[in-house]
Amino acid sequence: MSRENRQNIDRKTNKPSLKSTESSRNDQLLNRANEIRRDDDIVKTPKRTVYDIDYAIKWFIENEIQPQVNANGELIDVPVIFSNGEKWDNVRRLGYLRDEKGMLQSPLIMIKRNSLQERDTLKKLDINRPANGNQIVYKNSYNKKNKYRDELFPVPTNEPMSSEELYAINIPEYVDVEYDLLIWTDFTTQLNTLVEQIMPYGTFAWGNEFNKYRTFIRSLSFETINTVGEDRLVRCTMPLTVNGTLMAEQEYRKSTIQKRYSLKRVQWAQVIDAETMLYITNLSDQSGSFNDADTIAVSGSAALNPINSEPATKNEFDVYINGQYIDKYLYTWTPIITSPQTINFNTGSLGYTLSSSDTIVVNGRWSTE
């Protein structure tokens, strides 16, 4: 059963219903790497709606194109409105629009959305669920969790790679939205002026800031409205095709943005030569011989560290008595490059005294020469 439909099921007594499964394959295991809390960040879930596309087109016409006509020797701004049900009903019946007082509104630009369809050239691969990896990944420049530190003696300390904070966002739906710009003016010269002001913006990205969409202007049509007892109106219908994107905050009842962390890696700043590698990996055992109740002797000399030409330190050796590891704070010893070595034990803290029958082994970096 898919992770999304997993419920508390007693598999000994109740078998899962095949009607609620999405496939006949084995159950998906929960990946804890993808279960990262989002309530401690300030990143907002992205959202792109049909309203955003409508607003972008209207905002661009009003603020970027700023259509104007000459009326009675003055330049006046042409109002831009969006077609709602009542307004479009008046336009469809009468061919023009009146205000609340019954006056003809002219000049005027009305935006009407006709259709919305998925873009054939950029379809998503959806087979019940989005395919894994079918996402856009953004990297956050700041990550408060980069606290990993590590040291490997005697190799010099190297700074680890940071664990980057990533946000995976679903690929949006690519759609084509068809609009009609209905333009009314009193005179043909005014209509020509508005068309000339809008036409150069074909194939531009219409919108504001990050809410922009490529827009194409199609074939224009013109008509003249002559109503008995009314002023003459000329109208132009300008079709627009907008390449838009849609993304809801949730898809399939899941958030469209997921928080992740990249894997931490360690990069070495230098190449380790053969002698250093041999020193690091060459560990051997030496037997300790009984001297007295708290002292042993080891017949061996400590290896020289090729990095600093000093003998291997106490931290590079482990002592075992009768197979039991002995903590380093329980004995005193400074390794030297001559033989034998003397190790003194704190038998009070150790809890017992040494005897000749004890088997003592010291593992570490001993000289092979």
- Quick one: pLDDT band at residue 21, thresholds 50, 70, 90? very low
Domain(s) of CATH 3.30.2000.40: residues in the chain:
50-120+172-247
Contact 140, 164 (CB under 8 A): yes
Sequence letter at residue 31: N
Residue holding tokens 């894997």?
Answer: 263
Indicate the DSSP class of residue 181: E
Q: Is pLDDT at 150 greater than 70 in this prediction?
A: no
In the numeric block, which tokens belong to residue 54? 């409508």
What's the pLDDT tens digit per position in 250-277?
Answer: 776 677 777 777 766 666 566 777 888 8
Gap between the Cα atoms of 172 and 169, Å rounded = 9
What's the pLDDT tens digit per position in 328-345?
Answer: 989 999 999 888 889 999
Indicate the DSSP class of residue 90: H
Sequence letter at residue 306: P
Query: How many angstroms separate the most distant Cα atoms in the chain?
Result: 128
Looking at residue 252, its pLDDT comes to 65
Gap between the Cα atoms of 352 and 140, Å rounded = 57
Looking at residue 20, its pLDDT comes to 47
50-120+172-247: CATH number: 3.30.2000.40
pTM over 0.85? The answer is: no
Percentage of residues of the chain with pLDDT beyond 90: 35
Who's near 90: CB < 8 A, 6+ residues apart? 96, 97, 98
Which of the pair, 267 or 38, is modelled with greater confidence? 38
- Quick one: pLDDT band at residue 9, thresholds 50, 70, 90? very low
The backbone torsions φ and ψ at residue 184, rounded to the nearest 5 degrees and listed phi first, read -115, 140
Gap between the Cα atoms of 179 and 242, Å rounded = 8
CA 45 to mean position of chain CA atoms = 11
For residue 32, give the nearest of 332, 341, 260, 324 by alpha carbon. 260
For residue 51, give the nearest of 155, 177, 234, 194 by alpha carbon. 177
- For the chain, count helices (H), then strands (E): 5, 23
